[in-house]
Amino acid sequence: MELTAAEARVLGCLIEQEAAAPDAAPLTLNALRLSCNQTVGRVPVVAYDDRTVEDTLLSLKSRGLARFVPPTPQVPTTRYRHRADERWRMGRGELAVLAVLLLGGVQTQSEIRAKAQRLVPGMTAPEVDAVLDALAARTPRPFAARVGTPGAGRETRWVEVLTGPPPAVDDEDEPAPATRVPAELAAPSYADLVARVADLERRLSAALDAPRGRGWDAGSLPPAAAPTPTPLEARSSLHRAGDVVDDRDAVRHDPLPGLGAGPAVPVDVRALADRVADLERRLARIEAELGALR
């Protein structure tokens, strides 16, 4: 079985969160998304939105690796948990080591031991090492593999291979695990976020201006946002008469509506990513209502 990078991230988070905080399992969609996008203990850092996580959960469910827990009077939202223990016949220790590998990229054996022992207190270093060997020996497809050749004073390094073959690692240097993940799944750049906001707001405006059917309640929808300038247009607005603006400086400032010729405003990329996710949710809701009315 081969997993996508998104499936590996979501599955790893489900396993990790259940081991670290059993009382919090199963997880809500919001809690799972936050776990996927956290910056500590994740290689690479990503910025998944709700739709990405939901689509990935559906894919994992079809593979028998995730379970959906329906809403109840006490908890009125759908929640999610993994089924890796049943699907792959794994115990707590094996699951903990697998989660560490799925979330952390290429790691030394001591790093894996420390992280796994935090998830399963009482697990010894020899037990972690035995689990790594067992994951590498699984058939018909191994779950883990050693990378590089440990030299004098250097530890063995491990990586999961459920998402593909192990990366080529220079024995003289530390690995660069982020290169194993497609660029589209890594944290988006500032320019990408600005372009996505512009495209989403144009589509949102077009959806709101589309012909309405009977029963359409325009007051129930949020107002369309003003079009966002592209990065090139925003950069042009930063050039005043007789001034020369360094491109690096332009990227550090917010090219969103309202900037104009006023003082530069420092950009908050995380806030911009949240805005993109919010726009995508609004657009999906509007398009769904339009589709139902046509």
By the 8 A CB rule, do 276 and 193 touch?
yes
Region 25-49 average pLDDT: 95
Q: How far apart are CA 122 and CA 63, in angstroms?
A: 32
Q: What pLDDT is stored for residue 232 in this prediction?
A: 44
Three-state DSSP state, 102: helix
The rounded percent of the chain whose pLDDT value lies above 70 is: 62
238-244 mean pLDDT: 42
CATH number of 5-182: 1.10.10.10
pLDDT surpasses 50 at 51: yes
Q: Is the pLDDT of residue 63 over 90?
A: yes
- Phi, psi (rounded to 5 degrees) for 145: -150, 150
Q: At what angle do helices 269-293 and 50-62 cross, to 10 degrees?
A: 70
β partners of residue 79: 28, 69
Please give the residue that has the higher pLDDT: either 199 or 175.
199
pTM of the model: 0.59
Crossing angle of helices 5-20 and 92-104, in 10° steps, is 130
pLDDT bracket for residue 243 (50, 70, 90) = very low
pLDDT tens digits, residue range 143-165?
999 997 666 567 889 999 999 98
For residues 265 and 109, which has the higher predicted lDDT (pLDDT)? Answer: 109
Map out the domains of the chain as residue ranges. Answer: 5-182, 190-293
Indicate if the pLDDT at residue 271 is higher than 90.
no
Span 81-85, average pLDDT: 96
What pLDDT does 169 receive?
Answer: 63
